[in-house]
Structure 1
């Protein structure tokens, strides 16, 4: 695959917060998902994770502080850092992580 329309792809997914793998890049994967206003529980990974908001807003909660990540912004979560999504997010999110 060399070209993908990420926003329409995310919009067509049957559930919010369920990602779809768009591509694999070596040991990394590029995923897309549709955010909604619901919160998403805390998780952590043994690898860093880049969270890129294509459109909308993600309310990322880390260590009790909410960071607003807006369209065109990326937040790189360090390996081992617990992170969650607070209520009020919406739009399209791209995740680059280890696959």
Structure 2
């Protein structure tokens, strides 16, 4: 068993908005990334993902509707739903999504 400080892991990442796989649990990836206030373009996935704000705040546009995810909150992004990250999103984000072969 191992212990990881998620914020320290994210702070060591060289690039904002580029997630890094911290671990795999079963058929899921645990990813962490840094948000720096910039927007991230709209995307869709063919899988559901969990977006967990570890610190800071994330502003999303989900199907064109604003969604705010605060520190300590999780947003479950359903498969095939268009979503974008809006400006002002900052802090540390953990993403849980399926391992892709």
Give TM class, smaller chain: over 0.9
Q: Distance in 1 between matches of 2:72 and 2:29?
A: 19
RMSD over aligned CA atoms reads 0.9
Q: Give the match for residue 65 of structure 1.
A: 65
What is the TM-score when the length of structure 1 is the normalising length?
0.96
Number of aligned positions between the proteins: 99
Q: Structure 1: give runs of 5+ residues left out of the alignment.
A: none
* Superposition deviation, residue 97 in structure 1: 0.3
Q: Give the match for residue 5 of structure 1.
A: 5
Structure 1 consecutive aligned stretches of length 4 or more whose deviation exceeds 4 Å: none
* Superposition deviation, residue 2 in structure 1: 2.4
Q: Distance in 2 between matches of 1:8 and 1:44?
A: 29
What secondary structure sits across from 2:10 in the alignment?
helix
The Cα offsets for residues 38-63 of structure 1, whole Å up to 9 and x where unpaired, read as 10011111110000000000001111
Q: Does 1:83 align with 2:66?
A: no
Q: Structure 2: give runs of 5+ residues left out of the alignment.
A: none
What secondary structure sits across from 1:8 in the alignment?
helix
Summarize the alignment of residues 16-35 of structure 1 with structure 2, pairs less than 5 Å apart: 16-35=16-35
Q: Distance in 2 between matches of 1:43 and 1:74?
A: 18
What is the TM-score when the length of structure 2 is the normalising length?
0.94
What secondary structure sits across from 1:96 in the alignment?
strand
Q: Distance in 1 between matches of 2:2 and 2:98?
A: 20
